[in-house]
Amino acid sequence: MDARRAGSSDLARVERDVRELGVEVEVVQVEEGSDPADVIVSEASSRGASVVVIGLRHRTAVGKLIMGSVAQRILLDARCPVLAVKEDEA
């Protein structure tokens, strides 16, 4: 299992927590080997999403240059608002 990917229990917890807030939500995990930005933008468009929520993590300037930025592509390409959140640095 890829340590960067959320486990099914984590995804179920997030979905439950968001639903308890009264927000309609569908959690979709990108298949390994797929381009995450393309999949997220495409899924949001095809499902008529009103907002896409993405998590951010700190990366160095060199890391961004070499790997590109999935978050940046989603922010630029999504047809709906994108809410980008980052984890507390605690």
Rounded alpha-carbon distances, angstroms, from residue 44 to 38, 51, 65, 88: 10, 8, 26, 26
Residue 2 lies inside a defined structural domain of this protein: no
Domains identified in the chain, total number: 1
The average pLDDT across 29-48 equals 90
Could you tell me if residue 74 is inside a domain? yes
Q: Give Rg (Cα) of the chain.
A: 14
Asked whether residue 1 is domain-assigned, the answer is: no
**Contacts of residue 84, Cβ cutoff 8 Å, sequence gap at least 6:** 53, 54, 55, 56, 71, 75
pLDDT in tens, 43-60: 999 999 999 988 887 777
Q: How confident is the model at residue 1 (pLDDT cuts 50, 70, 90)?
A: very low
Which stretch of DSSP H or E encloses residue 45? helix 36-46
Q: What is the spatial distance between Cα 26 and Cα 84, in angstroms, rounded to a whole number?
A: 17
CATH classification at residue 48: 3.40.50.620
Residue 61 structural domain? 8-86
| Residue 51 domain flag | yes
pTM over 0.75: no
